[in-house]
């Protein structure tokens, strides 16, 4: 048991240290806009990891003599759509989720038990000497229980995101599918909005305008958030987050 207070103390100390670092960082941002993140190669990020997915065996390339059609080509003319590592395409994001969930539970239970001991192997007279005089063997136990529970819950969510972002092809899988990753930062006054997207796409899903819709991206990861003054006001403090995590009631 002594280890539990020590762990809680260590967690509190780490939270205080993190809050202090965050406060110092915020003090350094007083009077000026948030800084943009540097533009770097996505494959050099610490969280980057190559994608490994099930793929069919490679198909042999067949060439036909005197043919104007090139194996693997999608048109007679040069294809301007993204197809190689480093190529860029536009991802169109149009999310409009509207969900309403309502749950209502009502439970009622009533128990009424009565037990008497009229005869107990001839020892019922002994019970009269042991128990108080007011106790009657014919009405020894009487239990009456009533339980009622009612619960109501409702969740309403309405999310709408309409954005476009340019993504870079970071990997071409052996079956021709491509891994894309893109990020975008927009600074408005003292608030910075961030949009990140990554996933796996098929070349045939790319339109002639070199665009692709977000619902055609497999293993899609879309992150839309921000940082700055508005974000700081919307986020609860570290102390409140810790209390919400460990408070048992």
In the predicted structure, residue 101 carries a pLDDT above the cut 70 = yes
What is the enclosing helix (H) or strand (E) of 130?
helix 124-130
Domain around 123: 101-154
In the predicted structure, residue 135 carries a pLDDT above the cut 60 = no
Q: What is the mean pLDDT of residues 97-122?
A: 71
Please list, residue by residue across 119-146, b when 16 or more beta carbons sit within 10 angstroms of its beta carbon and e when fewer do: eeeeeeeeeeeeeeeeeeeeebeeeeee
Contact 163, 195 (CB under 8 A): yes
- How many domains does the structure of the chain reveal? 1
pLDDT band at residue 201 using 50, 70 and 90 as cut-offs = very high
Contact 193, 185 (CB under 8 A): yes
Contacts of 201 (CB under 8 A, 6+ apart): 177, 178, 180, 212, 216, 217, 218
Pairing of strands 211-213, 88-115: parallel
Coil, helix or strand at residue 132: coil
pLDDT digits (tens, 9 = 90+) for 148-165: 777 787 777 776 778 899
pLDDT digits (tens, 9 = 90+) for 215-229: 999 999 998 887 877
Beta pairing partners, 172: 178
pLDDT of residue 140: 62
168 vs 225: which has the higher pLDDT: 168
pLDDT digits (tens, 9 = 90+) for 32-61: 777 787 888 888 888 888 887 777 677 676
User: Does residue 108 form part of some domain?
Assistant: yes
pLDDT of residue 78: 67
pTM for the whole structure: 0.55
Rounded distance between C-alpha atoms, residue 162 and residue 194, angstroms = 14
User: Does residue 137 form part of some domain?
Assistant: yes
User: Does residue 207 form part of some domain?
Assistant: no
User: Does residue 131 form part of some domain?
Assistant: yes
User: Does residue 112 form part of some domain?
Assistant: yes
User: Does residue 107 form part of some domain?
Assistant: yes
pLDDT band at residue 22 using 50, 70 and 90 as cut-offs = low
Contacts of 36 (CB under 8 A, 6+ apart): 185, 187, 192
Phi-psi map region of 17: left, alpha, beta (phi>0 left; psi -120 to 50 alpha): alpha
User: Does residue 215 form part of some domain?
Assistant: no
Q: What is the mean pLDDT of residues 77-103?
A: 82
pLDDT digits (tens, 9 = 90+) for 184-200: 888 888 888 889 999 99
User: Does residue 129 form part of some domain?
Assistant: yes
């Amino acid at each position: 048991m002594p280890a539990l207070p020590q762990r809680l103390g260590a967690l509190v100390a780490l939270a205080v240290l993190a809050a202090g670092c965050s406060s110092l960082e915020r003090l350094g941002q007083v009077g000026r806009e948030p800084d943009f993140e540097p533009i770097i190669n996505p494959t050099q990020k610490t969280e980057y990891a190559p994608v490994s997915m099930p793929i069919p065996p490679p198909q042999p390339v067949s060439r036909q003599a005197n043919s104007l059609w090139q194996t693997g080509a999608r048109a007679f003319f040069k294809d301007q759509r993204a197809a190689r590592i480093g190529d860029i395409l536009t991802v169109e994001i149009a999310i409009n989720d509207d969900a309403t969930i309502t749950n209502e539970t009502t439970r009622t239970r009533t128990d009424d038990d009565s037990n008497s001991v009229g005869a107990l192997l001839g020892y019922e007279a002994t019970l009269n000497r042991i128990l108080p005089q007011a106790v009657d063997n014919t009405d020894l136990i009487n239990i009456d229980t009533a339980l009622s529970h009612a619960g109501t819950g409702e969740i309403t969510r309405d999310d709408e995101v309409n954005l476009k972002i340019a993504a870079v092809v970071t990997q071409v899988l052996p079956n021709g599918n491509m891994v894309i990753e893109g990020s975008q930062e927009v600074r408005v006054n003292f608030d910075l909005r961030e949009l990140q997207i990554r996933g796996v796409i098929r070349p045939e899903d790319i339109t002639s305008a070199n665009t692709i819709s977000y619902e055609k991206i497999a293993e899609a990861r879309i992150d839309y958030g921000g940082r700055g003054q508005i974000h700081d006001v919307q986020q609860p403090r570290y102390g409140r987050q810790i209390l919400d995590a460990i408070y048992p009631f």
